[in-house]
Amino acid sequence: MIATRDLSLAPDVAQDATVRFRAEVLRGLRAPLKSLPCKYFYDDAGAELFEQITRLPEYYLTRTEQAIMEQHAADMAAPLGRRCLLIEYGSGSIAKTRLLLRHLREPAAYVPIDVSAAFLKLTAQALTEDFPGLEILPICADFSRALSLPAPRKKAARRVVYFPGSTIGNFTPTETVALLRHTARLCGPGGSLLLGADLQKSPRIIEAAYNDSQGVTAAFNCNVLARINRELDADFNLEQFAHRAFYNAAEGRIEMHLISQREQQVRIGDAVIGFAEGESIRTEYSYKYSLADVRELATVSGFAVKRVWTDPREYFSVQCLAVH
Ligand code: AVJ
């Protein structure tokens, strides 16, 4: 039998989350250059829109990473040995995790960490059916914050963090180093990080992935305003903000913005935020790294790159980093 923990959030926890959401939104929108944290894209509607993005012809990331996993999951799992505790950061969709779990030898337990309770519930249910006997210990949290791991029933030989999807690209290099250092501590001696990272390539290809012809990415971007309206009692007019995504070559990153189409005021609860015509809210960075960049970020954070798997076009990489 599996033991999945109860995910229904206690009312005070849910309220804490709303208080934090409101504080982060107001902090971002009161800054001279307005921004919103990209983790708030993923309410139920946003998670569904992201699923649609992963199937777009222009969005090469997910299918490329999936192909790398299909080809090399056995190779990735072998050096992790028996009885590893598999921790997953931002366990949105689990197609890739399944491939890994299939090849792990007697994993001690699987610990998915995600901000979406709905997603975690689905993950736990789906994996329970496929992997009877696997203990699943979901944590509803922001993986970049400190967290304490639940103790699995079986003793774990080592801890392995699986961080797929190029979510690492959402963090600035400074934040990435902090996150990797925190991860190295979490894994401890003998631990590893299996990291999915998008790679630098022609800006044309990258820009197309964030400006799809069906407008799904635009809807995904605008959805964060709909979420703020609903959860924080705000009155954003979604028609008055336009999606913009471009590759910033100097910084090596995609930037997504929402551009105010006119001068306007928006109420958020009892706060009012003014926008000039053409003013932007930056909603996401998505950094694209070279293999050398990842190596450097890993090294300064307490990891050594052990293996790198890529696709034939070298669009995407999955890398095994060991705590050193
Ligand atoms: C899930 C963070 C990897 O940066 O490509 C997709 C999110 N944003 N289209 C990415 C996203 C716009 C995605 N990550």
Return the closest-CA partner of residue 206 out of 244, 148, 247: 247
Residue 163 CA to ligand 1 center (angstroms) comes to 14
Query: Cα separations (Å) of 64 from 60, 71, 84, 252?
Result: 6, 11, 26, 20
Which protein residue's CA is at the shortest distance from atom 10 of ligand 1? 286
**How far, in Å, from the CA of 83 to the mean position of ligand 1?**
32
**CA atoms of 304 and 248, how far apart (whole Å):** 28
Atom index in ligand 1 nearest the CA of residue 245 equals 12
pLDDT tens, N- to C-terminus, the chain (324 residues): 344 454 555 556 667 889 999 999 999 999 999 999 999 999 989 989 999 999 999 999 999 999 999 999 999 999 999 999 999 998 666 889 999 999 999 999 999 998 878 788 888 889 999 999 999 999 988 899 878 889 999 999 999 999 999 999 999 999 999 999 999 999 999 999 999 999 999 999 999 999 999 999 999 999 999 999 999 999 999 999 999 999 999 999 999 999 999 999 999 999 999 999 999 999 999 999 999 999 999 999 999 999 999 999 999 999 999 999
Q: Return the ligand 1 atom nearest residue 170 CA.
A: 2
Q: Given ligand 1 and candidates 60, 166, 205, 248, which is best to mutate, with the most ligand atoms within 8 Å of its CB?
A: 166
Among 60, 96, 170, which residue has the most ligand 1 atoms within 8 Å of its CB, making it the best to mutate? 170
**What's the gap in Å between 81 CA and the centre of ligand 1?**
31
- 3-class state of residue 298 by DSSP: helix
Virtual CA dihedral for 40, 128, 183, 311, nearest 10 degrees?
A: -80
Helices (H) and strands (E) in the chain, counts: 9, 13
Distances (CA, A) of 231 to 184, 226, 304: 35, 9, 42
Residue 287 three-state SS: strand
Long-range contacts of 172-176 (CB under 8 A, 24+ apart): 172/285, 172/287, 173/287, 173/297, 175/144, 176/287, 176/297, 176/301
Locus of tokens 């336009």: 242
Exposure string over 24-61, b if 16+ CB within 10 A, otherwise e: ebeebbeeeebbbbbbbbbbebbbebbeebbebebbbb
Rounded-to-integer distance, Cα 70 and Cα 6, Å: 32
Q: Ligand 1 mean position to 285 CA, how many Å? A: 9
Locate 181 and state its tokens. 């250092």
Question: If you measure from the C-alpha of residue 286 to the centroid of ligand 1, how many angstroms do you get, rounded to a whole number?
Answer: 7
pLDDT value, residue 2: 40
Q: 93 C-alpha to center of ligand 1: Å?
A: 13
Q: Which CATH number fits domain 60-201+289-323: 3.30.300.30, 3.40.50.150, 3.40.50.300, 1.10.3080.10?
A: 3.40.50.150
Residue 3: per-residue pLDDT:
42
Going by the DSSP 8-state scheme, the letter that residue 40 receives in this structure is G
Report whether 157 contacts 81 (CB < 8 A).
yes
Separation between Cα atoms, residue 113 and residue 243, nearest integer Å: 29
Q: Is 108 helix (H, G, I), strand (E, B) or coil?
A: coil
Note the pLDDT of residue 94.
Answer: 83
Name residues contacting ligand 1 (CB within 6 A): 53, 61, 165-167, 169-170, 210, 217, 284, 286
d(CA 141, CA 54): 23
Q: What is the pLDDT of residue 187?
A: 95
Q: Tell me which DSSP letter residue 251 carries.
A: T
CA nearest 112: which of 93, 138, 150, 143? Answer: 138
Q: Which of 38, 40, 49, 50, when mutated, tests ligand 1's pocket best, judged by the most ligand atoms within 8 Å of its CB?
A: 50
Q: Where are the domains of the chain?
A: 11-36+203-287, 60-201+289-323
Residue 214 CA to ligand 1 centre (angstroms): 16
Task: Supply the residue whose CA is at minimum distance from atom 5 of ligand 1.
Answer: 286
